[in-house]
Structure 1
Amino acid sequence: MSHVLDNPVWFALIGPQADFAHGQGLARHFYRDMAPFSAVEEATPAAYADLASDLPSNTEARLFRPSDEALPPGWLAIDAFPMLQMVPKHDRPIAEDYAVPDDLTEADVLAMRELVDVAKPGPFGPRTHRLGRFVGYRENGRLVAMAGERLRLPSYVELSAICTHPVARGRGLAGKLMRCLMNRAIVRGESPFLHVRPENREAVSLYHRLGFTVRREIWVLWRKPVSEAS
């Protein structure tokens, strides 16, 4: 049996985040206003048939897969790119040498969306904030940095939406928020993990300094049924 982190979206959607899933059989989807990801249990024709049956109309499936798998019949490749999957080297809390951030709530959604529009950390929909806990720093009443949780698997939680407004960069705010979320996860008995593009050298360097190491390469595959590809 493969490790849950080798197919993280699948194990999130059939496990701790099943309430955020729709689909059937060998495929699942997040509700798109939460996350744009889908998953198959295995890369088989039967799984891709299930994937297509519940895929929202005129929408590509975005899959996290162990490799750049062969395209199944009846599907069109839209995009494919590798991500580094990183995990901490240790399971001990880090010294809390940072100002305690604010816990962000439903009342902060507009501010979170405004920061995402500027900092562009990746997909962040109208209900992404409901996937997990989010923390942030404010200056003069404006949210200038945040980080949060996205995928939740048995014993694991993904850190995501890590971003800083351009006016506040260079002060280590992202690292402080990461340490906060890492410590909270470890205290709960969960192991944090994350995904980052290998070409994002600044972020990769930060994560190494925080004690993360590369576990493996994960491929993000964007695929669409041929009948929906026009």
Structure 2
Amino acid sequence: MTDEVLDHPVQHSLTGAHRALALTEGRAMRYPADVSPFMALPGDATADDWKHLAHLAEPDPITLLDVPATVPATWTSPRRFTVVQMTGRRVRTTAGRGQALAPLILGPADINDMVDLTARTNPGPFGRRTHEMGTYLGFRQEGKLIAMAGERLRPEGWTEISAVCTDPAFRGRGLARGLMTLLIEIIRDRGEQPFLHVVENAPAARLYESMGFSARRTFLVTSLKSA
């Protein structure tokens, strides 16, 4: 299994497992805004490619995980931050078991609770259709959604684990680890391997490292606007 597709995970997802979700114009691609903010251009993007992406993006800011080498001089970047890409080939799932709560598969009926939990815990962008990207699991206690995690980008041979979050009142109980363990088993049952992205220096990185995830490379997540 090659990991070269992880250098352009958005592009390979939109041309592969998520092609049914892809919005395209020329060589520019994006997810619907209520699925994910991510967009993609080829590494050798031309001026026409950038024009196509600008048209495709309206009225949203352009959000790129892997930025082509040449960005038009007239474009500005109001926001950028670094994320670390981590792969989980060495993760051992036996350490994540033992939860007293029963995990639930989350779907359309859970959207309001999923959006509320992610808004309060900020694990990354999450919209009302993000669950369409893959399997999402959660724990409820007395009907309240207290933890969740799911699948996001799907480059060939890999699945990204994302939206890992726990209600602040229930942290420290291994809920996130338990859900990630279940997701990793689902991913591996498909013959794929897990990976994820975490904001550089974020405390969550310690959890992922303790599970066996290792850093592969960094990306500069960039928001762009055309002048």
Please say if residues 105 and 137 of structure 2, whose CA atoms lie closer than 8 Å, have aligned partners that are also in contact.
yes
Q: 1:186 to 1:66 in 2, by over 3 A?
A: farther
Measure, in 1, the Cα distance between the counterparts of 2:81 and 2:44.
17
Aligned to 1:162: 164
Q: CA deviation at 1:97?
A: 2.1
Please say if residues 93 and 187 of structure 1, whose CA atoms lie closer than 8 Å, have aligned partners that are also in contact.
no
Q: CA deviation at 1:3?
A: 1.5
- Matches for 1:200-219 after TM superposition, within 5 Å: 200=202, 202-219=203-220
Q: Report how many aligned residue pairs link the two structures.
A: 223
Secondary structure of the 1:65 match is coil
Q: CA deviation at 1:48?
A: 1.5
Cα deviation digits, residues 78-100 of structure 1 (max 9, x gap): 22221100001427654562335
Aligned to 1:148: 150
Please say if residues 94 and 183 of structure 1, whose CA atoms lie closer than 8 Å, have aligned partners that are also in contact.
no
- Deviates most, 43-52 or 91-100: 91-100
The letter for the 1-side match of 2:141 is E
Match of 1:172 among 171, 174, 198: 174
Q: CA RMSD in A?
A: 2.0
Please say if residues 66 and 217 of structure 1, whose CA atoms lie closer than 8 Å, have aligned partners that are also in contact.
no
Secondary structure of the 1:205 match is helix
Please say if residues 148 and 160 of structure 1, whose CA atoms lie closer than 8 Å, have aligned partners that are also in contact.
yes
Match of 1:127 among 115, 129, 133: 129
Aligned to 2:23: 22
Q: 1:43 to 1:19 in 2, by over 3 A?
A: same
TM-score relative to the length of structure 1: 0.90
Secondary structure of the 1:23 match is strand
The letter for the 1-side match of 2:175 is L
Measure, in 2, the Cα distance between the counterparts of 1:91 and 1:171.
20
Measure, in 1, the Cα distance between the counterparts of 2:56 and 2:93.
41
Tell me the percent identity.
37
Structure 2 residue runs of 5 or longer lacking an equivalent are none
- Matches for 1:32-111 after TM superposition, within 5 Å: 32-45=33-46, 46-57=48-59, 59-65=60-66, 69-90=69-90, 93-94=93-94, 97-99=97-99, 100-111=102-113
Q: CA deviation at 1:199?
A: 2.1
Q: CA deviation at 1:131?
A: 1.1
Structure 1 residue runs of 5 or longer lacking an equivalent are none
Q: CA deviation at 1:37?
A: 1.0
Q: CA deviation at 1:66?
A: 6.3
Aligned to 1:196: 198
Q: CA deviation at 1:24?
A: 1.9
- Deviates most, 84-93 or 104-113: 84-93
1:222 aligns with 2:214: no
Please say if residues 9 and 38 of structure 1, whose CA atoms lie closer than 8 Å, have aligned partners that are also in contact.
yes
The letter for the 2-side match of 1:35 is S
Please say if residues 61 and 224 of structure 1, whose CA atoms lie closer than 8 Å, have aligned partners that are also in contact.
yes
Q: 1:133 to 1:42 in 2, by over 3 A?
A: same
Measure, in 1, the Cα distance between the counterparts of 2:14 and 2:36.
11
Measure, in 1, the Cα distance between the counterparts of 2:106 and 2:58.
30
Q: CA deviation at 1:43?
A: 4.7
Please say if residues 37 and 62 of structure 1, whose CA atoms lie closer than 8 Å, have aligned partners that are also in contact.
yes
Please say if residues 28 and 51 of structure 1, whose CA atoms lie closer than 8 Å, have aligned partners that are also in contact.
yes
Measure, in 1, the Cα distance between the counterparts of 2:125 and 2:136.
15
Secondary structure of the 1:153 match is coil
Measure, in 2, the Cα distance between the counterparts of 1:101 and 1:83.
28
